[in-house]
Structures are given as structure tokens and as C-alpha cells.
């Protein structure tokens, strides 16, 4: 069917849907970071190049402004809309007692913060010739689409990685400390406390790696991402618990390697890793709570498309119908709404 359609330069709706899903399947396997952007919106149509995300400020933080002891533990910026759980002052309820025959004074206020993200297209293409289609022994359009999906997925994954790196509200610099050291455990414990007091719930679901939109429920923990080299060395950390020691019934995530304390580690070859001399590397570990960032979902309607320009479609530029193109296009748009629900640990990895 593929050969016959391509031979006559035709691409019907069924074959178009097949190629689109083939590309998205490959890209979805490569794009790991986007699975943690669980707040999703649809691609805006004919209105703006930006998508607006809104987040509500907890009313307790507005009412008790300036009295929150937890702010010193989190380092959050209330004026920027970063949330910190409120420890309600002693006897606070007395201000809400209603006098006899009176409704009292209004104390409730509401506030939200708008955050915008620019939406833009990315894509790539390759030429197809008459010789490639008819004579090359290994070339097929399906294989070309798979290869394109693999590259596209890696590019998309790097975009979401950079959003996490730039958007982290809690940063612990352990430069000079190896990932195998117990100092990492102390850093993770501190990070978990900061996330909890910032309103970051433990992650209970992530987006599926399947090309169709959906979520995967998981046992509630904070999640962290790490490069495979770091994941391998992490096994030498005395506090690391590998998969084989998990309790029965625990749902294991794709690419999960183990746990330290309240944090489950996911390996990703696109996680930040920079050479720093012979056998030394600088790495970043992202530690995430629930619903920290939003995105235009990769699997959303009209988000991705495989584009086939048949041989001869170039008109007089290709009078003998010997050249065509095959390409892909998708749209990106994401933003960290709650930087206080997202952390980053800078750490070293030694490997000889």
C-alpha cells in the first residue's frame, strides 16, 4: 500500500494518519521531560502567539502576609506569586468569631497571577528523489518517518529540559560533591521540605509515553531526573534503594532506577551533563513536585504533522517530477507556573 500510494504520488487520509502516529510514537519515546508538565492547554487558534496560564494565590497567604514563619525555610518570593504554606498564627480564629447580631467584616480576598508562554513551530525536512524511492535497497518512507520522529523527540525533550533548568525555584549548589556522597541525601531532604512547604504535593501521575494523550498513576513521591551516567554512579550511594528492593505492588515508571528517601529517580540521556576534565562531569538533578509547569500538549490536536510534498509538486522547478520532500512540524509552548514546586541540585559525577 505504501509503495503503490507513493509510486503515484498520493497520500490519502489513512496513510497520513499512519505516518503522523509513527512519528509521534518515536518522538514520545524520546521526549521524557514533557511527561512531567501535567498542566496542559490546547494550541491557541487565530488569536495570539502567546498562551496565558493562570495560577491562584492561596488566600491564607494574602490574609496573613508578613507573618509566615515558613518563608524563611523555603526562600520563596511572595510578591512574585510563589506560594508558601501558611502556619496559621495562634488565636487567629478569634478574628473570625461573629458578634451577636452581626455578620462581621469581610476578610476574604482573591488574587491570581498570569504567566504567558510564546508558542512557536519547529520542524525539519529531507529531500526525496526518484532514485531513492525506486532503487535504494533499504529506504522506505516509514523508516524515514521513524528516524525523523527520533530526532524530533530529542529536540523536543531538550526544550522541556531547558524550561525545568531555567524555571527551578529552589537551587542547591553541591559543586565539588560527588553524586555518591551522603551529602546528596541531606540536599534531597532539604529540597523535599522546601517543596512541601511551598505547596508542592508529591507526584501521583505523569503523562503517558504512549502517542495517545493520557496519564499514568504512580505511587506518590517526589520525582527527580538524572543522566544515565549519574544513575549508574548513584547506585554506589549508601542511601540508594534500587528497583529490586521496592515493595510489592509499586508502579515503576519508565526509565526509573531507584529511590533515595522521598525521591524517585528517572534516568534521561538528555539530562544536563557537562565534561569537566578527565573522568569528571558537572550535572544537574531536577527534583519535582506535582503540577509545577504547563504546556501545549505534544499529543494535542493539530500539534504535530508529517508533511509529504510529492515528486512533481515543485511545478516548473521539477518538470520531470524527480524531486519531493518529506518533513515534520510541531508546536512548542511551555512555562513553569510554580517555580516553588521545582528544585535543582548542581552536583559532580566522577567516572573513570
Q: 166-188, pLDDT tens digit by residue?
A: 999 999 999 999 999 999 999 99
Q: Is residue 90 part of a domain?
A: yes
Same domain for 73 and 211, yes or no, is no
Same domain for 171 and 70, yes or no, is no
Rounded to 10 deg, the angle between the 13-30 and 141-167 helix axes is 40
- Band (pLDDT 50/70/90 cuts) for residue 3 is very low
Query: Can you tell me the mean pLDDT for 37-50?
Result: 73
* Percentage of the chain lying above the pLDDT 70 cut: 89
Q: Is residue 49 part of a domain?
A: no
Query: Alpha-carbon distance 56 to 114, whole Å?
Result: 9
- The vertex-31 CA angle with 221 and 299, nearest 5°, equals 95
Instruction: Look at 48-52, 180-184, 244-248, 332-336 and tell me which has the smallest mean pLDDT.
Output: 48-52
- Band (pLDDT 50/70/90 cuts) for residue 45 is low
Q: Is residue 209 part of a domain?
A: yes
- Band (pLDDT 50/70/90 cuts) for residue 2 is very low
Contacts of 42 (CB under 8 A, 6+ apart): 296, 297, 300, 301
Same domain for 144 and 169, yes or no, is yes
- Band (pLDDT 50/70/90 cuts) for residue 9 is low
**Model pTM score:** 0.86
The 3-state DSSP class for residue 67 equals coil
Check pLDDT > 80 for residue 315: no
What does the pLDDT read at residue 4? 37
Contact 71, 85 (CB under 8 A): no
Same domain for 75 and 224, yes or no, is no
Same domain for 91 and 210, yes or no, is no
**Is residue 8 packed enough to be buried (19+ CB in 10 Å), middle (13-18) or exposed (0-12)?**
exposed
Query: Alpha-carbon distance 193 to 51, whole Å?
Result: 32
Same domain for 148 and 106, yes or no, is no
Same domain for 126 and 271, yes or no, is yes
Q: Is residue 216 part of a domain?
A: yes
What does the pLDDT read at residue 140? 83
Check pLDDT > 80 for residue 82: no
Instruction: Look at 36-45, 179-188, 283-292, 304-313 and tell me which has the smallest mean pLDDT.
Output: 36-45
Strand partners for 329: 123, 305
Query: Alpha-carbon distance 98 to 102, whole Å?
Result: 6
Q: Is residue 310 part of a domain?
A: yes
Check pLDDT > 60 for residue 252: yes
Q: How many domains does the chain have?
A: 2
Query: Can you tell me the mean pLDDT for 3-18?
Result: 65
Q: Which domain holds residue 102?
A: 58-110
Check pLDDT > 90 for residue 262: yes
Same domain for 75 and 176, yes or no, is no
Same domain for 74 and 192, yes or no, is no
What does the pLDDT read at residue 92? 86
What does the pLDDT read at residue 112? 81
Query: Can you tell me the mean pLDDT for 260-271?
Result: 96
What does the pLDDT read at residue 177? 96
* Percentage of the chain lying above the pLDDT 90 cut: 47
Q: Is residue 219 part of a domain?
A: yes
- Band (pLDDT 50/70/90 cuts) for residue 247 is confident
What does the pLDDT read at residue 1? 37
Of 70 and 30, the structure prediction assigns the larger pLDDT to: 30
What does the pLDDT read at residue 153? 94
Same domain for 125 and 100, yes or no, is no
As separate numbers, helices (DSSP H) first and strands (DSSP E) second, the chain gives: 8, 17
Query: Can you tell me the mean pLDDT for 217-232?
Result: 94
Same domain for 134 and 101, yes or no, is no
Same domain for 211 and 265, yes or no, is yes
The candidate with the shortest Cα–Cα distance to 243, out of 213, 266, 224, is 266
Check pLDDT > 70 for residue 46: no
Rounded to 5 degrees, φ, ψ at 140 are -140, 155
Contacts of 349 (CB under 8 A, 6+ apart): 178, 179, 227, 229, 230, 233, 273, 280, 281, 282, 283
Q: Is residue 196 part of a domain?
A: yes
Amino acid at each position: 500500500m505504501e509503495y503503490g500510494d507513493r509510486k503515484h504520488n498520493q497520500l490519502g487520509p489513512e496513510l497520513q494518519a499512519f505516518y503522523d502516529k509513527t512519528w509521534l510514537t518515536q518522538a514520545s519515546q524520546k521526549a521524557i521531560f514533557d511527561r512531567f508538565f501535567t498542566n496542559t492547554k490546547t494550541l491557541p487558534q487565530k488569536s495570539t502567539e502567546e498562551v496565558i496560564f493562570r495560577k491562584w494565590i492561596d488566600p491564607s497567604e494574602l490574609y496573613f502576609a508578613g507573618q509566615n514563619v515558613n518563608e524563611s525555610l523555603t526562600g520563596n518570593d511572595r510578591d512574585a506569586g510563589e506560594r508558601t504554606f501558611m502556619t496559621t498564627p495562634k488565636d487567629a480564629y478569634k478574628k473570625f468569631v461573629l458578634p451577636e447580631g452581626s455578620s462581621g467584616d469581610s476578610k476574604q480576598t482573591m488574587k491570581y497571577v498570569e504567566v504567558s508562554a510564546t508558542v512557536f513551530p519547529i520542524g525539519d525536512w529531507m529531500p526525496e528523489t526518484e532514485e531513492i524511492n525506486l532503487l535504494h535497497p533499504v529506504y522506505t518512507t516509514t523508516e524515514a518517518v521513524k528516524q525523523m520522529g527520533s530526532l524530533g523527540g530529542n529536540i523536543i525533550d531538550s526544550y522541556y529540559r531547558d524550561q525545568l533548568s531555567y524555571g527551578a525555584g529552589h537551587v542547591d549548589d553541591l559543586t565539588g560533591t560527588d553524586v555518591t556522597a551522603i551529602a546528596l541525601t541531606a540536599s534531597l531532604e532539604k529540597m523535599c521540605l522546601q517543596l512541601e512547604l511551598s505547596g508542592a504535593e508529591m507526584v501521583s501521575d505523569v503523562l503517558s509515553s504512549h502517542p495517545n494523550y493520557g496519564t499514568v498513576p504512580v505511587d506518590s513521591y517526589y520525582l527527580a531526573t538524572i543522566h544515565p551516567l549519574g544513575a549508574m554512579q548513584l547506585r554506589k550511594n549508601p542511601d540508594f534503594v534500587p528497583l529490586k528492593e521496592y515493595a510489592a505492588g509499586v508502579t515503576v515508571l519508565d526509565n526509573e532506577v531507584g529511590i533515595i528517601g522521598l525521591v524517585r529517580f528517572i534516568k534521561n540521556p538528555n539530562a544536563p551533563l557537562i565534561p569537566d576534565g578527565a573522568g569528571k562531569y558537572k550535572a544537574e538533578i531536577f527534583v519535582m513536585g506535582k503540577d509545577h509547569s504547563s504546556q501545549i500538549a505534544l499529543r494535542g490536536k493539530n500539534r504535530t504533522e508529517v508533511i509529504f510534498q510529492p515528486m512533481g509538486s515543485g511545478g516548473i522547478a521539477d518538470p520531470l517530477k524527480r524531486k519531493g520532500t518529506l518533513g515534520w512540524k510541531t508546536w512548542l509552548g511551555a512555562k513553569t507556573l510554580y517555580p516553588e514546586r521545582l528544585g535543582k541540585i548542581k552536583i559532580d559525577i566522577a567516572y573513570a
